Amino acid sequence: MEFKGRDIISLKDFSREEINFVLEISQSMESVAKTGSDLLRSKILATLFFESSTRTRLSFESAMHRLGGSSIGFAEAEIASVKKGENLADTMRVVESYADVIVVRHPLEGAARLAAEFASVPVINGGSGAEEHPTQALLDLYTIAKEKGSIDGLNVALVGDLRYGRTVHSLAYALSLCKVKLFFISPEILRMRREVSEVIKEKIKVIEKSSLEEVISDIDVLYVTRIQKERFPDAAEYAKVKGSYRVDLELLEKAKEDMIVLHPLPRVDEIAPEVDETIHARYFQQVWNGIVVRMALLALILGKIE
């Protein structure tokens, strides 16, 4: 399997075998993450974040440092030359001289693909508008496999903002390659985008509902998302769906005992803090898993693991 020099832009570009391979390498990074390594010594990662981030940027940097590499970058477009009018293509042609691999987060859909076309070094999509967030989906899958033993055979519910949430788009593409039953749970106006759901429905069974209560007792993996306020065209639309779902102890009483709750974070009010202490919560474990998955991706893309 060839990952060296590869751009990671969309989960649509992955086969099930490739996903499994990334998850396997991620697992082998668990111990390396704790001890540290020199695998990527003298390699430089650039993180270009034109949109806010805590986990994605810091975990890529942490992953790079744990493998002995270093990282440079900016965390807001305000301080970069885009402020002076530089376009993304020129930015990429400049940064390729500074780094061996580049992670880009950008508010516009298609930006990561464009960035990859202009950079001669591999580009990883750290979130492209409401479109996709492939590395988050890989860490979500890794978490599911780690916690449940395997992905196949599960009932997985994606809950919340399926229209503007980019993580659920990438995750749905990946899950469509697995033997799962998928539930899309959202308010009517935040239904899974047609372009995504069409691809998914060709491959696996999907059940779309707006009520979470109706299906909760069937679910093995509950993937909760934040309503993406910043992507709504107007405040009135947001007001209609704000607070649509809240996972709390009362809801969890109806769930399977071994159901796990995931969330890409940040959460606002969709998971009550009381859930954190239950046997269901796995969202803070996802954060650690993000480190090992990103270590695996960096090592693979930079050709240090084959």
- Contacts with ligand NCD by CB under 6 A lie at 55-56, 127, 133, 136, 166-167, 226, 264-265
Q: Is residue 229 among the annotated active site residues?
A: no
**Which of 226/282 has CB closer to ligand NCD?**
226
Give the C-alpha separation, 19 to 16, whole Å. Answer: 5
Q: Give, as one character, the DSSP assignment of residue 203.
A: T
Q: Closer to ligand NCD by CB, 73 or 264: give it.
A: 264
**56, 91, 167, 225: the active-site residue:** 56
Per annotation, catalytic residue among 43, 57, 133, 169: 133
In the complex, minimum distance from the CB of residue 226 to ligand NCD, in angstroms, rounded to a whole number: 4
Residue 162's nearest CA partner among 220, 216, 223, 110 is 223
Which residue out of 6, 57, 105, 106 is catalytically annotated? 105
Nearest distance, CB of residue 93 and ligand NCD, angstroms: 26
> Least distance in Å: CB of 203 to ligand NCD?
23
CA distance 45 to 47: 7
Q: CB-based burial of residue 288 (10 Å sphere; 0-12 exposed, 13-18 middle, 19+ buried)?
A: middle
- Nearest to ligand NCD of 43, 55 (CB atom): 55
Per the structure block, which two tokens stand in for 60? Answer: 């890529």
Of residues 26 and 167, the one with the C-beta less far from ligand NCD: 167
Q: Pick from 147, 97, 86, 151: which is nearest to 119 by CA?
A: 97
Name the residue nearer to ligand NCD (CB basis): 176 or 289: 289
Query: Which residue blocks in 149-193 are alpha helix, DSSP H?
Result: 166-175
In the complex, what is the shortest distance from the CB of residue 55 to ligand NCD, in angstroms, rounded to a whole number?
5
Our CB check for ligand NCD shows the closer of 83 and 229 to be 229
Closest CA to 125 of 1, 225, 11: 11
CB of 17 to ligand NCD, least distance (A): 26
Q: Is 133 a catalytic residue?
A: yes
Catalytic residue among 34, 35, 84, 194: 84
- E-strand ranges in 160-252 read 181-185, 206-209, 221-224
CB of 136 to ligand NCD, least distance (A): 5
DSSP 132: B
Q: How far apart are the two ends of the chain, measured CA to CA in Å? A: 7
- Tokens of residue 1, six digits: 């399997």
Peptide bond into 264 cis (omega under 30): no
- 29's enclosing H/E stretch is helix 16-35
Q: Which residues contact 146 (CB under 8 A, 6 or more apart)?
A: 27, 289
Question: What does the alpha-carbon distance between residue 154 and residue 144 come to, in Å, rounded to a whole number?
Answer: 10
167 part of the active site: no
Catalytic residues, by residue number, are 55-56, 84, 105, 133
